[in-house]
Amino acid sequence: MGWVDRLSPRFPTGFAMKQAILARFLRYVSIDTQSDPHSTTFPSTYKQVEFAQQLQQELIELGFSDVALSDKGYLTATVPATVDNVPCIGFISHLDTAPDFNGANVKPQVIENYQGQDIALGDSAVLSASQFSSLTQYIGQTLITTSGDSLLGGDDKAGVTEIITACHYLLQHPEIAHGKIRICFTPDEEIGAGADHFDVEDFGAQWLIPLMAAKLAS
C-alpha cells in the first residue's frame, strides 16, 4: 500500500504512469498463483507457469530481449545496455502467492486519497489506524487492500509490477544511460523453494536486487 504513489513521481509522466502501474498491478493480482507446500512437482502449481507464460508474451510485446521461460518456471529477460563498461544488475521477484489463505477471486479495494479512516475487510475485520499506527504514514496516498475474502497477492505481484514498469520505461527512453539489466520472476518462493533451480551463472548479473511488497510499502 502506498507504493503506487511512491513509484510514480520518479517518472516524468506523473498521473498517466500512476494509472498504468495501478492497472497492471490489479491485473496481476486477479490471477491466482498460490504455491502448494504439499506438492511433489516443481513448480508446485501449474497456475504459476500459466502466469509466467502470460508475462512472457507481455515482455516480448513490450520489447524486452532474451525473453525465456525455463522448464522449471523461471522467467528471464534483458534490457540491453545503453552504455559500455557498466556491471550488469539483476532484479528479481516471485510469481507465487502464499498458500496460507484463499488466493482465488481476488477483489482489491482501491482507496484514493486515504485520510486515516478505518478500512473494512469483509464483514468481520477492520484495518484501523488505531491498531496499525503505520497507516498514518500513508495519509493522502492511494491504498490497495484485500476485500477480506482472499489474499491481496501484493507479495510479490507488486515487485513484478515495479520491475516490468520501470524496465519498460528504460526501453522507451534509450537516452537514459544504464548498463545491461536482467530480470527474473521465480516460482515457489512462498514455500521456500524459489532459489532451488535458479541458475546464477546463466542469469549473468553481477548484482542482484530482490524487490518485495514489504519494501515497496516501507
- The pTM of this model reads 0.89
What is the pLDDT, as a whole number, of residue 9? 47
Distances (CA, A) of 114 to 34, 107, 141: 29, 19, 6
pLDDT tier for residue 122 given thresholds of 50, 70 and 90 = confident
Q: Which residues are part of the catalytic machinery?
A: 96, 189
- Superfamily of structural domain 3-103+146-216: Zn peptidases (3.40.630.10)
Strands 119-121 and 109-111: unpaired
Burial bucket for residue 109 (CB in 10 Å: 0-12, 13-18, 19+): middle
Nearest Cα to 217, choosing from 133, 168, 163, 159?
Answer: 159
- Mean pLDDT computed over every residue of the chain: 90
Largest CA distance in the chain: 57
With bands split at pLDDT 50, 70 and 90, how would you rate the model's confidence at 212?
low
pLDDT in tens, 147-160: 999 999 999 999 99
Helix count and strand count (H, E) for the chain: 6, 9
116 SS3 class: coil
Write out pLDDT tens, residues 38-95: 999 999 999 999 999 999 999 999 999 999 999 999 999 999 999 999 999 999 999 9
118 Cα distance to chain centroid: 26
Cell numbers for 202: 546463466
Select from 152, 115, 148, 122 the least CA-distant residue to 25.
152
pLDDT score at 18: 86
